[in-house]
Amino acid sequence: MYKRYPVRNGVVAFMETVVNKLGHVEEISKGGMSFRYMQIGDDLYLSDTINLFFPRYDFNMNRIPIKLITDIEEFNPSQFRTVTMRRCGVQFLELSDDQNQKLDYFIRNYTIRKKSQDKTQLK
């Protein structure tokens, strides 16, 4: 079990699917992450990889292998049933050395952590 960290505003998750999915990352850990996205229509297909972006700091981590853990409807912001907000939780699968280094860097620099938390918790 890995410690989860809330992320700073502006971090985006992007999945390339039949209908591309773009969402706001809520939490991240060494083992996975959760994000919210807008579902349009009936397409619930999710990719087996995800991309993580933080445009404000020119950070990107591409083609992260994932396994879907949860994908639940949170609410319907519209009177039309074609648009819903969903929360998705994914588990990271085997990451490359480069992806592991980027993930460690991301957690150290772009998450909201208590000042007393020690960097050794990332291991």
**pLDDT < 70 stretches in the chain:** 18-19, 42-44, 76-81, 115-123
Q: What is the CATH number of the domain that holds 30?
A: 2.40.10.220
**What is the predicted pLDDT for the residue at 120?**
47
**What is the predicted pLDDT for the residue at 84?**
81
Q: Which domain holds residue 105?
A: 5-122
**What is the predicted pLDDT for the residue at 113?**
84
Q: Structure pTM?
A: 0.84
**What is the predicted pLDDT for the residue at 12?**
96
CA distances from 60 to 9, 11, 17, 84 (A): 15, 10, 19, 27
Q: What are phi and psi of 56, to 5 degrees?
A: -60, -30
How many domains, the chain? Answer: 1
**What is the predicted pLDDT for the residue at 52?**
97
